[in-house]
Amino acid sequence: MEILVCVKRVPDTSENEIEINSDGSDIERDDLVYSVNEWDNYAVEEAIQIRDNVGGSVTVVTVGDEEDEEVLRREMAMGADNGILISDDAFEGSDGKGIASILKAEIEKGKYDLIMTGAQADAGAGQVGGMLAAMMDLPYASLVNSIDIIDDKKIKAGREVEGGNQEMNEIDLPCVLSIQTGINEPRYVGIRGIRKVASVEIPVHGASDLGIDASSVGENGAKVKRLDYYLPDLGEGAEMLEGSTDEIVEKMIELLKSKGGIK
């Protein structure tokens, strides 16, 4: 089975204090520690497990710049066979539709049975997987938390549904799935694995390689424009707990006890 997983490099929220930049248009991105989007890491682990069971290959792809190449190498150290960096100045400032159309152009250059995205990434839009499937006229399932390969034409995919319910679907291949965290336990990637793929050549594809009209993507092609970016004012009665983690937990327990939430 030929599997393609779309991965994105995002700020690591466990390693950074996220602040809004001075003109209020975005978060402050200087000096942030980045890592692979958590949902995408689960998708890559799932793809590797499927390949190991039924054969085939796993390709990881990202739309970004040369710095984003590091997440491709990380996922290749984890076990993906190939990486593709899609990069072009024309792609900068793309909205979700732009990213999906760029990925579509890359996917059409290959022959993939299964295409996976994360359920969401750092902007939390959750748009790319669904848009990609619609643009490619492929079946799609979101929030997938289990995959069983029936044969080379069909899979069974479980979906996490509201209220803790589970839904099972039979889906024709090729298809697009957006993967929910918890579908598996991603393996640890050690420094030795990273070193092993450090010198592997990763192809870079730009707008002309993919036959993309540069005016249809990037900031000019974006149909969703961010107007503002801010922390909402604290609501009436909201209280920010200050202190160390232990102190905050202690205060939280006292508050819950005083309100009758716990005894």
Instruction: Give the shortest CB-143-to-ligand FAD separation in angstroms.
Output: 11
Q: Is 63 in the site for ligand FAD (CB under 6 A)?
A: yes
In the set 1, 6, 58, 90, which binds ligand FAD (CB under 6 A)? Answer: 6
Nearer Cβ to ligand FAD (192/225): 225
What H or E segment, with its residue span, contains residue 169?
strand 165-172
Q: How far apart are CA 76 and CA 197, in angstroms?
A: 7
Q: Which CB contacts under 8 angstroms, 24+ apart, belong to 46-49?
A: 46/116, 46/147, 46/179, 46/183, 46/184, 47/3, 47/5, 47/80, 47/114, 47/116, 48/78, 48/79, 48/80, 48/187, 49/184
Task: Tell me phi and psi for residue 77, to 5 degrees.
Answer: -65, -30
Closest CA to 178 of 226, 138, 141, 146: 141
The residue whose two tokens read 């390689």 is 209
Is residue 69 close enough to count as binding ligand FAD by CB under 6 A? no
- Asked if 108 touches ligand FAD (CB under 6 A), the answer is no
What are residue 157's DSSP bridge partners?
147, 169
222 lies in the site for ligand FAD, by CB under 6 A: yes
For ligand FAD, what does the binding mask look like between residues 43 and 62, x meaning CB under 6 A? Answer: -------------------x
- Please give the Cα distance from 120 to 22 (Å, whole number): 26
Can you read off the two tokens belonging to residue 260?
A: 């009758």
Examine residue 118 and tell whether it contacts ligand FAD (CB under 6 A): yes
Task: Say how many C-beta atoms besides its own lie within 10 A of residue 9's C-beta.
Answer: 22
Binding mask 152-191 for ligand FAD (x = CB under 6 A): ----------------------------------------
Q: Is 95 in the site for ligand FAD (CB under 6 A)?
A: yes
What's the closest the beta carbon of residue 15 comes to ligand FAD, in angstroms?
18
Backbone angles phi, psi at 210, to 5 degrees: -100, 0
Give 67 or 185: the residue with its C-beta nearer to ligand FAD. 67
Q: Which of 87, 101, 117, 184 binds ligand FAD (CB under 6 A)?
A: 117
Q: Of the candidates 120, 142, 180, 184, which one interacts with ligand FAD according to CB under 6 A?
A: 120
Query: Does residue 65 interact with ligand FAD by CB under 6 A?
Result: no
Q: Say whether residue 123 binds ligand FAD (CB under 6 A).
A: yes
Write the interaction track for ligand FAD spanning residues 127-146; mark x where CB under 6 A is met and - where it is not.
xxx-----------------
Residues near ligand FAD (CB under 6 A), total: 31
Q: Convert 187-233 into a string of H (helix), E (strand) and C (coil).
A: CCCCHHHHHHCCCCCCCEECHHHHCCCHHHCHHHHCCCCCCCCCCCC
Task: List residues binding ligand FAD (CB under 6 A).
Answer: 6-8, 37, 39-40, 62-64, 92-96, 99, 117-118, 120-129, 222, 224-226
